[in-house]
A = this chain, B = another copy of it.
Amino acid sequence: MTRPDGRAADQLRPITITRNWQAYAEGSALIEFGETKVLCAASVTQGVPRWRKGSGLGWVTAEYSMLPRATLTRNDRESVRGKIGGRTHEISRLIGRSLRASIDLAALGENSIAIDCDVIQADGGTRTAAITGAYVALADAVSWLQSKGALAKPDPLINSVAAVSVGVIDGEPRLDLMYEEDVRAETDMNVVVTGQGEFIEVQGTAEGVPFRRDELDALLDLALAGCADLTSLQHKALA
């Protein structure tokens, strides 16, 4: 049983994080998990949505999208179709929830941060790459706010957040699936973890065959180890 790119079952693909990839954003990062490339940009605006005004709390949202030719064959644009698909909605919500778990919204004050995650190339794991890269963009946007004197103490960033996909292929639990593995996985799980190794989100799905408790446990072990590595890469990038 070898993986398509020869990696060990518990090994991440080569990860690179390039900060400040879009010049105008308050924070931005191009993150690569092997051939998967996601551009994450954080945009700061003063004020919060109407339903939140006067609360003293900030707000963080995310939007996920794919360029039409990020994939092997071209996908129609959602703007052209006139509506956003269920998968896009679902992933945007997941990224937003995950990032909000990293931040103290009271310490952010009535500021909003919108994170755009645009997939430039998709080879599996785009949503987990997006979360991992979005955290870097978010951290830079928070620093930008601090450098402007817009935030009082304490630091709103309370956790770092990283995410990875894991899955069972031919009975073997594997870390960080590429597309070719993803489509063959019996079970597919996305796990979002804090820098302290606690869970923010666990989403496991049986593709065809239900999975047992021990398989779930093995996948969680892999994911925790993978996220620990991603966390240190994030810290290195932000250093």
Contact = CB atoms under 8 A, between A and B. Distances in A.
Interface of A: 22-25, 28, 35, 39, 41, 43, 45, 63, 65, 67-74, 77-90, 92-93, 97, 101, 114, 116, 118, 120-121, 159, 189, 194, 196, 198-206, 208, 210-213, 216, 220, 224
Determine the main DSSP class of A at the interface with B: mixed
A92 B90 CA distance: 11
A88 B23 CA distance: 22
B200 A210 contact: yes
Copies of this chain, complex-wide, total: 6
Q: Which of A87, A202, A204 has the most CB of B within 10 A?
A: A202
B101 A206 contact: yes
A205 B199 CA distance: 8
B41 A68 contact: yes
Contacts of A93: 86-87, 90
Nearest to A194: B210
A1 B79 CA distance: 42
B41 A63 contact: no
